[in-house]
Structure 1
């Protein structure tokens, strides 16, 4: 089965942190919005 695993994602826009430690797992056909 296809899936996407994201573990401990961090993202900044310039000096501004946007995401801190985001983790999730999606199976085929699932949709998520941040």
Structure 2
């Protein structure tokens, strides 16, 4: 893989992780 591809994948994973964590904290761990 090219470094650009690795960097793009890392950024996408970070954004996805933040979105999922936000949803989980809002819905499931709100109790």
- Whether TM-score is above 0.5 comes out as no
TM-score (norm 1): 0.16
Task: Looking at secondary structure, tell me which structure has more strand per residue.
Answer: 1
Structure with larger Rg: 2
TM-score w.r.t. length of structure 2: 0.16
